[in-house]
Amino acid sequence: MPQGYLALVLHAHLPYVRHPEHEDFLEEKWLYEAITETYIPLISIFDRLIDDGVPFRLTFSISPPLLSMLIDPLLQERYEKHLNKLIELIEKEMGRTYGSPFHETAKMYRTRFYEARDIFCNRYNRNLVQAFKKFQDAGRLEVTTCAATHGFLPLMLHREAVQGQIKTAVDLHTKHFGRPPQGIWLPECGYTPGIDKILKENNIKFFFTDTHGIMYASHRPRFGVFAPIFCPSGVAAFGRDIESSKQVWSKDEGYPGDFNYREFYRDIGFDLDFEYIKPYIHPDGIRVHTGIKYYRITGKTHDKQPYDPWKADQMAAIHAGNFMFNRELQVKHLTTLMDRPPVIVAPYDAELYGHWWFEGPQWLNYLIRKIAYDQDTIKLITPSDYLKMFPCNQVATPCASTWGNKGYNEVWLNGSNDWIYRHLHIAAERMIELANTYPGAGENLRRALNQAARELVLAQSSDWAFIISTDTMVEYAVKRTKQHISNFLRLYDQIKGNRIDVGWLNHLEYQNNIFPDINYENYQSPNGTPTAVNA
């Protein structure tokens, strides 16, 4: 039996961006980049690990917006076109870089892009959700969910609004993974007392918080973040380990800042002659990242040196060994303080691996193999596995918390984005009113009520507040928030006035088609009166 356990958790999420009205929509490239640089490389590694018989257990959280985009035929078709353009570009780069220090890197990209097309088009028939379900069914991944549109739950005033986000997510997850999720990644790790009761009602067994959510719980946990605590509702909370997170997250002290690794910000979409690169950037002439980058980080300087894929790969192996060694030391120390094997919870945004940290997937590959064969102190585990092994844990209520700057909502509620919430609160109150007023609706009324629920959850996405707070793509985030609120209010007036515009409703159902099975009755109040989250 190992002395302790490591729970690696990857949270895969992107905001729901789907614009059928535009052939080339700039923000849709967020999805295409993540598929090419993160999801497909991780799938490739998981496939190889299984083929090689390497045992592993990871937790992989797939948010409902991402799941919805990965199964959408329109976005699947557009991604394949995007990938074919990348292959066309890298074939040109093979000639342009011949004889230069960049040629080996160009060959690497060529191999990766062709492999990506084979995985996407042939192996998984454009549907990458099938891959993650396969890994789940093989017992390698525990796939968990998130709130419906990554809505920021601590700032939702009514339990019905939180219920709408959770129930919609659970239903979608169950439909596509063949089993209900045992766990959930609370959006932005945002927790406030009372949310766990709603999770319990939806048969969610565990969630994650940032470190201070556990350490400042109603009763200080005896084992800190190295064992879960049970909320009074019976739902378990797992806390993030600071040490293991910092080694991977920090660009200054962590592995991704190593000078041998690929430099993210030097991309040929910006470096090369405009006429040459024009067919491969946005049609309006907007320079964008292509994903083809030839330089390494080099140092804290603008003078960047050519990237060496072999040296970067060697460094990923060294860093994987270092991470494992540190976890071994950590576990050996903790075992002297605990009456059970500790669990080190290391959660990360999945998009860190491959997109921001290009070598991240290969680092993960080396880490999993080293843990399997090079030591016997620690073992990979999932939260569900740990709870089955150790079902008795301390009872305490985590404190209200998030991850992100300062850890208490500020990223999602500040002077730049606070105007959002009065509109979201009013819309949520009216959605609850509609659900309570029109139980068991049929035909066009039910369609309108369901679309109103879609527009509400799309407006509630935490991504819009985050983007506004970080001052990136602000215009788009503001537009999305206002558009969904406007759509909801117009639907509300039409429903209340018994004058539903079916033509416009058809348009909304086509344009904002997330959650085809959404049920507006999720917003009904048990006693007919809206209830506070912490009631």
Q: List the Cα angle 138/139/145 in 5-degree steps.
A: 105
| Secondary structure E strands in 188-272 | 206-209, 229-230, 236-239
Residue 531 placed within a domain: no
Per-residue model confidence as pLDDT tens digits over 433-469: 999 999 999 899 999 999 999 999 999 999 999 999 9
Distance CA 161, CA 480 (A): 19
pLDDT tier for residue 533 given thresholds of 50, 70 and 90:
confident
The encoded tokens of residue 18 equal: 């789907």
- If asked whether residues 398 and 459 sit together in one domain, one would say no
* Same domain, residue pair 378 and 474: no
Burial class, 475, CB count within 10 angstroms (exposed 0-12 / middle 13-18 / buried 19+): exposed
Measure CA of the first residue to CA of the last residue in the chain; give whole Å.
Answer: 43
- Residue 143 to residues 132, 135, 182: CA-CA distances in angstroms? 8, 9, 8
Return the pLDDT at 535.
65
* Same domain? 395 vs 431: no
Cα 313 to Cα 298: distance, rounded to the nearest angstrom: 15
Q: What is the largest CA-CA distance in the chain?
A: 74
pLDDT digits (tens, 9 = 90+) for 160-187: 999 999 999 999 999 999 999 999 999 9
Residue 532 has pLDDT above 90, yes or no: no
Determine the average pLDDT of the residues in 313-339: 97
Please give the pLDDT value at position 398: 97
Same domain, 389 and 449: no
Give yes or no: residues 255 and 341 share one domain.
yes
Tally of domains in the chain: 2
| Exposure string over 70-108, b if 16+ CB within 10 A, otherwise e | bbbeebbebbeebbeebeebbeebeeebeeeebbebbeb
CATH number at residue 379: 3.20.110.10
Domain final residue, candidates 343, 372, 406: 406
3-state secondary structure 294-340: CEECCCCCCCCCECCHHHHHHHHHHHHHHHHHHHHHHHHHHCCCCCC
